Amino acid sequence: MSEIDLKTFFLEQVRLFENFPADKVEEIVIKSRLATFEGNEAILETGDEGKFIGIMISGHAEISMSDNTGTRSVISQLQAGDVFGVMSLLTGDRIVADVIAETRCFVLMIPQAVFSTHILSSPKALGYLSRLLADRTRAMTVDIVTANARAVAKSSDPYALTLNSNMPGKVVALNVGLSQIHFGIYDTHDLGTDIHGIIDSADQHICHITVMVGPQNQTMTCPHFPISDLFKVMQEATQLLGDAFVFHPEDVTAIGHRVVHGGSKFSSSVVITPAVIGDIESLSGFAPLHNPVNIEGIREAMKQFPGVPHVAVFDTAFHQTLPPYAYLYGLPYDLYKQNGIRRYGFHGTSHRYVSLKAAEVLKRPLGELEIISCHLGIGASLCAIDHGRSVDTTMGMTPTDGLIMPSRSGSIDPAVMIHLMENHHMSPDELSHLINTESGLKGISGISSDIHEIEAAASEGHHRALLAHKAFCYQVRKNIGAYVAAMGGIDVLAFTGDIGETSATVRSLACQGLGYMGIKLDEEKNRNLGKIGPYAVISTDDSPVTILVITNDDERLVAWETLRAIERNQLTLAAKGEEDAPIPIEISAHHVHLSQADVEKLFGPGHQLTPEHELSQPGQFACAEKVHLVGPKGRIANVRVLGPTRKETQVEIAMTEQFKVGIQPPIRQSGDLVNTPGITLEGPYGTSTIERGVICAQRHIHMTPEDALRFRVRDNYVVRVRIEGERELIYGDVVVRVNPGFRLAMHIDTDEGNAANIRTGMIGYIEEIQQRH
pLDDT greater than 50 at residue 252: yes
Q: Same domain, yes or no, for 491 and 599?
A: no
Q: What is the pLDDT of residue 575?
A: 46
Displacement of CA 54 from its chain's centroid (Å): 35
Average pLDDT over residues 619-644: 94
CA-CA distance, 179 to 293, in Å (whole number)? 10
Same domain, 144 and 212: no
* E strand intervals along 443-531: 492-496
The answer to the question of residue 321 being in a domain is no
C-alpha distances out from residue 691 to 205, 593, 674, 676, 773, Å: 47, 15, 11, 8, 30
CA–CA distance, 79 with 60 (Å, rounded to integer): 5
User: Is 52 or 439 the better-scoring residue by pLDDT?
Assistant: 439
For strands 667-668 and 72-78, give the pairing: unpaired
Q: Which residue has the higher pLDDT, 610 or 143?
A: 610
Distance CA 178, CA 399 (A): 15
Whether residue 481 is predicted with pLDDT greater than 70 in this model: the reply is: yes
Average pLDDT, the chain: 89
Residue 373 belongs to some domain of the structure: yes
pLDDT of residue 260 exceeding 70: yes
Quick check: 105 pLDDT over 60? Answer: yes
CA distance 635 to 679: 10
Do 206 and 115 belong to one domain? no
pLDDT surpasses 80 at 153: no
Based on the domain organization, do 10 and 87 belong to the same domain? Answer: yes
Distance CA 474, CA 510 (A): 7
Residues 530 and 625 occupy one common structural domain: no
Q: Are residues 634 and 756 in the same domain?
A: yes
Can you tell me the mean pLDDT for 110-138?
Answer: 80
| Residue 157 annotated in active site | no
- What is the Cβ-side half-sphere exposure of residue 311, based on CA atoms within 13 angstroms? 28
Residue range(s) defining the domain that contains residue 732: 580-771
- Higher pLDDT: 547 or 33? It is 547
Which of 297, 314, 331 represents a domain boundary (last residue)?
Answer: 314
C-beta neighbour count of 684 within 10 angstroms: 11
Q: What's residue 565's pLDDT?
A: 85
In this prediction, residue 577 carries a pLDDT of 45
More reliable by pLDDT, 388 or 422 = 422
Question: Which of 150-154, 325-329, 337-341, 434-438 is predicted with the least confidence, judged by mean pLDDT?
Answer: 150-154
Count Cβ atoms within 10 A of the Cβ of residue 726 and give its class: 0-12 exposed, 13-18 middle, 19 or more buried.
exposed
pLDDT of residue 147 exceeding 90, the answer is no
Neighbouring CB atoms inside 10 A of 525's CB total 17
Least confident range from 154-168, 430-444, 667-681: namely: 154-168
CA distances, 618 to each of 586, 590, 621, 642 (Å)? 15, 20, 8, 13
Residue 511 lies in a domain: yes
- The reply to whether 180 and 135 lie within a common domain is no
Tens-place pLDDT, residues 655-678: 889 889 999 999 999 999 999 999
CA neighbor of 256 nearest in space, from 204, 315, 190: 315
Least confident of 145-154, 297-306, 515-524: 145-154
Q: How many other CB atoms sit within 10 Å of the CB of residue 482?
A: 15
Reported confidence tier of residue 573, pLDDT bands at 50, 70, 90: low
Find, among 374, 244, 394, the residue nearest to 322 by Cα.
394
Q: Tell me the average pLDDT across 647-661.
A: 92
**What is the pLDDT, as a whole number, of residue 23?**
87
Following DSSP, what letter does each residue of 96-123 receive, concatenated?
A: -SEEEESS-EEEEEEEHHHIIIIITT-H
- 437 burial (CB, 10 Å; 0-12 / 13-18 / 19+) is middle
* Residue, of 191 and 623, whose pLDDT is higher: 623
Residue 708 and residue 590 in one domain: yes
> What is the C-alpha end-to-end distance of the chain, expressed in Å?
64
> How many other CB atoms are there within 10 angstroms of residue 392's CB atom?
23
Helices (DSSP H) in 115-197: which residue ranges? Answer: 123-139, 144-154
The stretch 106-131 carries a mean pLDDT of 84
DSSP state of 675: T
Q: Estimate to the nearest angstrom the gap between the alpha carbon of 109 and the chain centroid.
A: 37
Closest to 470 in 3D by CA, of 491, 492, 448, 444: 444
Query: Looking at the domain assignment, is residue 341 inside a domain?
Result: no
- Note the pLDDT tens digit of each residue in 523-535: 999 999 877 789 9
> If 0-12 CB within 10 Å is exposed, 13-18 middle and 19+ buried, where does residue 364 land?
buried
Q: Which of 98, 315, 491, 553 is catalytic?
A: 315
Q: What is the pLDDT of residues 706-718, one digit of tens each?
A: 788 778 788 888 8
- The pLDDT > 90 percentage for the chain reads 60
Query: Are 668 and 698 a contacting pair, CB within 8 Å?
Result: yes
Residue 276 has pLDDT above 60, yes or no: yes
Q: What share of the chain is helix, strand, coil (3-state, %, to 5)?
A: 35, 30, 35
Q: Does residue 662 share a domain with residue 747? A: yes
Distance of alpha carbon 348 from the chain centroid: 11
Supply the pLDDT for residue 394. 98
Residue 378 shares a structural domain with residue 287: no
State yes or no: pLDDT of 208 exceeds 60.
yes
Q: Which of 505, 617, 587 is nearest to 758 (CA)?
A: 587
Q: Are 234 and 196 in contact (CB under 8 A)?
A: no
Q: Is residue 434 part of a domain?
A: yes
Rounded to an integer, the average pLDDT of 358-387 is 93
| 387: alpha, beta or left? (left if phi > 0; alpha if psi -120 to 50) | left
**Model confidence band, residue 72 (pLDDT cutoffs 50, 70, 90):** low
**pTM of the full structure:** 0.68
pLDDT of residue 578: 40
**Separation between Cα atoms, residue 65 and residue 63, nearest integer Å:** 7
In a domain, 327, yes or no: no
| 490 lies in the same domain as 622 | no
Q: State which H helix or E strand residue 729 sits in.
A: strand 729-738
HSE-CB of 567 using CA atoms within 13 angstroms: 11
Among 138-152, 524-538, 583-597, name the one with the lowest average pLDDT. Answer: 138-152
CATH number at residue 506: 3.30.420.40
pLDDT above 90: residue 26:
no
Q: Please indicate whether residue 475 or residue 30 has the higher confidence score (pLDDT).
A: 475
CA separation, residue 141 to residues 59, 146, 178, 255, 599 (Å): 27, 11, 47, 34, 67
| Among candidate residues 240, 252, 232, 241, the one with its CA nearest the CA of residue 187 | 252
- Residue 381 pairs with which residues in a beta bridge? 375
Of the candidates 261, 388, 379, the one whose C-alpha atom is nearest the C-alpha of residue 312 is 261
CB 310 within 8 A of CB 271: yes
Give me the pLDDT at residue 143, please.
43
Do residues 658 and 629 make contact, with C-beta atoms less than 8 angstroms apart?
no
Kindly report the CATH number assigned to the domain that includes residue 95. 2.60.120.10
Specify if 332 maps to a domain: no
Q: Which long-range contacts (CB under 8 A, 24 or more apart) does 228-232 make?
A: 228/300, 228/304, 230/176, 230/181, 230/199, 230/297, 230/300, 230/301, 231/301, 231/304
* The predicted structure's pLDDT at residue 739: 84
CA distances from 395 to 56, 339, 346 (A): 34, 18, 6
Handedness of CA 548, 551, 557, 558 (dihedral sign): positive
CA 116 to chain centre: 46
pLDDT tens sequence across 183-196: 999 998 877 789 99
Q: How confident is the model at residue 123 (pLDDT cuts 50, 70, 90)?
A: confident
Number of domains in the chain: 4
Average pLDDT in the 425-441 region?
Answer: 95
Angstrom distance (rounded) from CA 280 to CA 242: 38
Q: Is residue 248 part of a domain?
A: yes
627 and 672 housed in the same domain: yes
8 A C-beta contact, residue 706 and residue 307 = no
Are 570 and 712 in contact, with CB atoms under 8 Å apart?
yes
